[in-house]
Each structure stands twice: as structure tokens, then as C-alpha cells.
């Protein structure tokens, strides 16, 4: 028992908040209230069922591992350290990584760098955990939303990136 580490209550609270958001966004009730024009076909939701099913948040002490999609390794690793923590978001899609970098910097007030295979950020403060986890509701199926916007709806990449930010603003106003 002496080797067990108590999970950080702030991380637990943030994971529960993230779970509430992702569950609501997958449901008809909340997902239907979000403007998805040019991001998903009519009648579809923010997440694909395949991407939603594996979503999970695991906490061990001051470390959280958040699975954010169905692709192997599509996750975020969070280390909450005294003073400032860090995160590593893993994804191979360059456009998604650029969008996530922007959201993480503007919403969680971190300094981020796009790296091969994801985004690395430093400077996470405990009082920004809720903002961070709100952002972590976004990458699930973002690649599919971006692909639909560009290839099916025929929009330019800049427009599609802007629409993703607009989608986030809608979600942000729903989950404070």
C-alpha cells in the first residue's frame, strides 16, 4: 500500500468534465445543437462511432493518459508538475496538429510546438485543466471533419480550419 499514488483530484475532476463533454457531443440531444455545416454530412455527429468508442481518461498520481480516438496512439499524455506541467498530444495529421496547437495555446495558455507525430506543450497550470480538457474533446474525428470539409464540401483548407475553431467556440459556450 505504501507504493500506491493517490490520483490528483483536479485531474479526476477534469477527466470527468471531458467525459461529460464527449458523451454529450456524441448524443443526439447536444450534438444536434451544434452547427456542423461543411464539417459533417447532414445527420452525422461530431464524432464517428469508431472514434468515440475507445475514448478514455486514465489517471495515476499527477499523470493522465487520455485516449482521443481510434487510431493506435491517438492520445494525450499530461504530466501535472508543481509550478507548470506539460502535455504531449499524439497525432500524425499535420492540419489537426496545427489546429490543436492553436487551441492549446489560446485556451490553456501553454507554449506549444508542432513536432513529428503531434504537439508538445509546456507551461500547464493547474487552474487551466478545465480549459485543457475542453480542448481535448476536439481532436476526436477532427481528421474526418477536415477531410469532409475539404474533399466533399469543396472548401479550402483555411476555411475548414476556421470552421473547426468556430465549432470549438460553440462547444466552449455549451460547456463552461
Range of the domain at 15: 9-171
The answer to whether 66 touches 76, Cβ cutoff 8 Å, is yes
Q: Is residue 100 part of a domain?
A: yes
Q: Is residue 2 part of a domain?
A: no
Q: Is residue 4 part of a domain?
A: no
pLDDT digits 0-9 by tens, 163-173? 999 999 989 99
Q: For the chain, list residues with pLDDT below 50.
A: 1, 29-31
Beta strands in the chain (DSSP E): 56-60, 63-67, 75-79, 85-90, 111-115, 118-124
The predicted structure's pLDDT at residue 1? 45
Got the DSSP string for 58-99?
Answer: EEETTEEEEE-SSSTT-EEEEE--SS-EEEEEE-S-HHHHHH
pLDDT digits 0-9 by tens, 33-72? 677 776 776 666 789 899 999 999 999 999 999 999 999 8
Q: Is residue 141 part of a domain?
A: yes
How many structural domains is the chain composed of?
A: 1
Q: Is residue 1 part of a domain?
A: no
The answer to whether the predicted template modeling score (pTM) of the entire model surpasses 0.85 is: yes
The answer to whether 58 touches 75, Cβ cutoff 8 Å, is no
Q: Is residue 3 part of a domain?
A: no
Type and span of the H or E element at 106:
helix 94-108
Amino acid at each position: 500500500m505504501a507504493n500506491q499514488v493517490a490520483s490528483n483530484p483536479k485531474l479526476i475532476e477534469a477527466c470527468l468534465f471531458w467525459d461529460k463533454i464527449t458523451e454529450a457531443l456524441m448524443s443526439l440531444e447536444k450534438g444536434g445543437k451544434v452547427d456542423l455545416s461543411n464539417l459533417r454530412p447532414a445527420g452525422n455527429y461530431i464524432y464517428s462511432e469508431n472514434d468515440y468508442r475507445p475514448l478514455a481518461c486514465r489517471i495515476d498520481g499527477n499523470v493522465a493518459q487520455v485516449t482521443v480516438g481510434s487510431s493506435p496512439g491517438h492520445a494525450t499524455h499530461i504530466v501535472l508538475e508543481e509550478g507548470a506541467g506539460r502535455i504531449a498530444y499524439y497525432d500524425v495529421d499535420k492540419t489537426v496538429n496545427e489546429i490543436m496547437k492553436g487551441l492549446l495555446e489560446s485556451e490553456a495558455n501553454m507554449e506549444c510546438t508542432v513536432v513529428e507525430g503531434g504537439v508538445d506543450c509546456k507551461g500547464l497550470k493547474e487552474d487551466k485543466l478545465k480549459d485543457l480538457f475542453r480542448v481535448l474533446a476536439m481532436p476526436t474525428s477532427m481528421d474526418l471533419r477536415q477531410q469532409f470539409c475539404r474533399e466533399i464540401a469543396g472548401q479550402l483548407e483555411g476555411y475548414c480550419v476556421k470552421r473547426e475553431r468556430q465549432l470549438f467556440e460553440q462547444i466552449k459556450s455549451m460547456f463552461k
